[in-house]
C-alpha cells in the first residue's frame, strides 16, 4: 500500500501563546471542526490537515501537516490571518514567498459559446485541470477588471496570500465544474442582467489567461436517497449530482424547459416554478438527504422549513448561490 507523503509548514509564536490557543478553540467551535487537547498540545483537524499548537516556553510551536500541499498552504494562510487578527504573529520557518495563492491555477480560454438560450459554456485548458474535478464540485473564477492586466494573488513573507485591491481587485464568482477530461474543464454560466461574468464570457477570446482557485464547496452528499432543489445557478451542480449519487436521486429545478437540455428527458428531473412549494410536497425520511440551492432568501426559508419539519441539520444542505445585492452569498 502506498502512503502519500505529508506536506508541512512550521513556525514559532514568541508571545501570545495563550491567545493563540483561545483563537484556535473558538475557530474549532465556529467551524464545527474536531479539536483534540492534551497536556502537550492542541490539535485542530481541518480540510484534511492537522494544525498543532505545542507550548514551548515562553512561546509555542505551530505545525501544520496534511496530504495535500495546497490545503496545508491554505491553512497556513488562514491561521496566519486569524492569529494576526488577535495580535499574534507566527514566524514561519519557511514561506513560499511570491508563489501563486494556494489552489490558484492559471488557465487559458479554449471557447465560450452559448449552449441553450440561458447558458454560456466555457472551456478552459491548463495542466492543473484534473484536480478541479476531485473532491469538490466548485471553484472561484478570478476575473481582472475590464481592460486591466491581471494581478494574481501571491504569498507574502508573512505566509498570507495577498490579494490585489483597488483598481486591480478581482471579481470572484463561484462556478461548478460540469465536465473535465485530459487538460480541460468546462463550466456553464447562467445569463442574467448586470453580470460582469456574462460580459466577460461575451467578449473573451480563445487563448486569454484566466485564474481559477479551488476546488471547494463540497461534493455530492452520501445518502440512500438524495432530493435536490435548485434554480438556474444550481442546475450545473444538480446535473453533476445526478451522475455522482450512489443511491437514488430526484431533482426539482426552477429553469426554463429550453435550459434543461438533455435533463428535460430525465425521468428523475421535474421542472418547477416555485422551489419552496416543491420542497413542501416531499416527505423526507431518515435515509434521505435534502439538497437545496438558490437565491439567499429562498435558501434561508428552505432551511427554516426543513428544521421546522424536524430534519436534523446533518440531513440537509441549504445553500445561498446568489443574492439580490451581489455575488454568491456562500
Ligand X SMILES: Cc1cc2nc3c(=O)[nH]c(=O)nc-3n(C[C@H](O)[C@H](O)[C@H](O)COP(=O)(O)OP(=O)(O)OC[C@H]3O[C@@H](n4cnc5c(N)ncnc54)[C@H](O)[C@@H]3O)c2cc1C
| 173 near ligand X, judged by CB under 6 A | yes
CB nearer ligand X, residue 75 or residue 189? 189
Count of positions (residues) in the chain? 330
The distance of closest approach from Cβ of residue 325 to ligand X in the complex, given in angstroms and rounded to an integer, is 6
Q: Which range binds ligand X by CB under 6 A, 46-54, 188-196, 245-253, 265-273?
A: 188-196
| Cβ neighbours for 183, distance < 8 A, ≥ 6 positions apart | 125, 126, 127, 129, 130
| Cβ neighbours for 262, distance < 8 A, ≥ 6 positions apart | none
- What is the C-alpha to C-alpha distance for residues 240 and 234, in angstroms, rounded to an integer? 10
Q: In the window 197-256, what residues touch ligand X (CB under 6 A)?
A: 197-198, 217, 232-233, 236-237
**Cβ atoms 87, 16 nearer than 8 A:** yes
Q: Which range binds ligand X by CB under 6 A, 2-10, 251-259, 306-314, 316-324?
A: 316-324
CB nearer ligand X, residue 206 or residue 327? 327
Query: What stretches of the chain adopt beta strand conformation (E)?
Result: 7-13, 35-37, 42-46, 49-56, 59-66, 91-92, 104-116, 119-125, 138-142, 154-155, 161-162, 174-181, 184-190, 209-216, 225-231, 248-254, 269-271, 288-295, 316-322
The distance of closest approach from Cβ of residue 46 to ligand X in the complex, given in angstroms and rounded to an integer, is 19
Which of 92, 292, 316, 322 binds ligand X (CB under 6 A)? It is: 322
The distance of closest approach from Cβ of residue 224 to ligand X in the complex, given in angstroms and rounded to an integer, is 24
| 48 near ligand X, judged by CB under 6 A | no
| 328 near ligand X, judged by CB under 6 A | yes
CB nearer ligand X, residue 171 or residue 303? 171
Instruction: Name the residue among 218, 224, 217, 219 with its Cα closest to residue 315.
Output: 224
The distance of closest approach from Cβ of residue 201 to ligand X in the complex, given in angstroms and rounded to an integer, is 9
Total of residues contacting ligand X (CB under 6 A): 30
Separation in Å, CA 244 to CA 140, 172, 219, 248:
21, 26, 9, 10
- What is the C-alpha to C-alpha distance for residues 284 and 224, in angstroms, rounded to an integer? 12
CB nearer ligand X, residue 311 or residue 320? 320
Residue 307 C-alpha cell reads as: 428544521
Q: Which range binds ligand X by CB under 6 A, 12-20, 52-60, 251-259, 317-325?
A: 317-325
Mask for 127-166, x = binds ligand X (CB under 6 A): -----------x----------------------------
- Residue 208 CA to its chain's centroid (Å): 24
Residue 199 C-alpha cell reads as: 460580459
Instruction: Name the residue among 20, 52, 56 with its Cα closest to residue 37.
Output: 52
The distance of closest approach from Cβ of residue 10 to ligand X in the complex, given in angstroms and rounded to an integer, is 33
CB nearer ligand X, residue 11 or residue 103? 103
Which residues contact ligand X (rule: CB under 6 A)? 138, 171, 173-176, 187-190, 192, 194-198, 217, 232-233, 236-237, 321-328, 330
Amino acid at each position: 500500500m502506498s502512503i502519500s507523503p505529508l506536506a508541512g509548514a512550521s513556525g514559532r509564536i514568541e508571545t501570545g501563546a495563550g491567545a493563540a490557543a483561545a483563537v484556535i478553540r473558538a475557530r474549532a467551535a465556529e467551524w464545527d471542526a474536531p479539536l483534540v487537547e492534551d497536556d502537550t498540545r492542541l490539535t485542530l483537524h481541518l480540510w484534511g490537515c492537522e494544525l498543532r499548537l505545542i507550548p514551548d516556553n515562553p512561546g509555542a510551536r505551530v505545525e501544520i501537516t496534511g496530504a495535500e500541499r495546497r490545503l496545508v498552504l491554505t491553512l497556513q494562510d488562514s491561521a496566519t490571518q486569524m492569529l494576526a487578527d488577535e495580535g499574534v504573529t507566527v514566524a514561519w520557518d519557511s514561506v513560499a514567498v511570491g508563489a501563486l495563492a494556494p489552489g490558484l491555477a492559471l488557465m487559458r480560454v479554449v471557447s465560450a459559446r452559448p449552449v441553450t438560450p440561458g447558458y454560456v459554456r466555457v472551456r478552459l485548458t491548463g495542466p492543473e485541470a484534473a484536480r478541479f474535478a476531485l473532491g469538490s464540485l466548485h471553484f472561484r473564477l478570478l476575473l481582472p477588471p475590464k481592460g486591466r492586466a491581471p494581478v494574481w494573488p501571491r504569498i507574502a513573507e508573512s505566509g498570507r496570500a495577498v490579494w490585489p485591491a483597488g483598481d486591480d481587485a478581482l471579481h470572484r464568482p463561484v462556478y461548478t465544474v460540469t465536465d473535465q477530461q485530459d487538460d480541460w474543464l468546462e463550466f456553464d454560466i447562467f445569463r442574467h442582467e448586470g453580470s460582469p461574468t456574462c460580459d466577460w464570457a461575451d467578449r473573451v477570446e480563445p487563448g486569454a489567461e484566466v485564474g481559477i482557485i479551488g476546488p471547494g464547496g463540497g461534493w455530492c452528499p452520501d445518502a440512500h436517497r438524495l432530493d435536490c432543489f435548485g434554480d438556474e445557478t444550481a442546475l450545473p451542480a444538480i446535473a453533476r449530482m445526478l451522475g455522482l449519487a450512489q443511491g437514488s436521486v430526484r431533482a426539482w429545478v426552477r429553469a426554463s424547459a429550453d435550459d434543461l437540455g438533455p435533463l428535460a428527458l430525465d425521468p428523475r428531473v421535474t421542472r418547477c416554478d416555485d422551489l419552496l412549494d416543491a420542497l413542501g410536497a416531499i416527505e423526507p425520511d431518515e435515509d434521505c438527504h435534502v439538497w437545496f440551492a438558490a437565491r439567499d432568501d429562498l435558501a434561508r426559508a428552505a432551511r427554516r422549513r426543513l428544521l421546522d419539519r424536524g430534519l436534523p441539520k446533518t440531513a440537509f444542505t441549504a445553500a445561498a448561490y446568489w443574492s439580490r445585492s451581489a455575488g454568491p452569498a456562500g
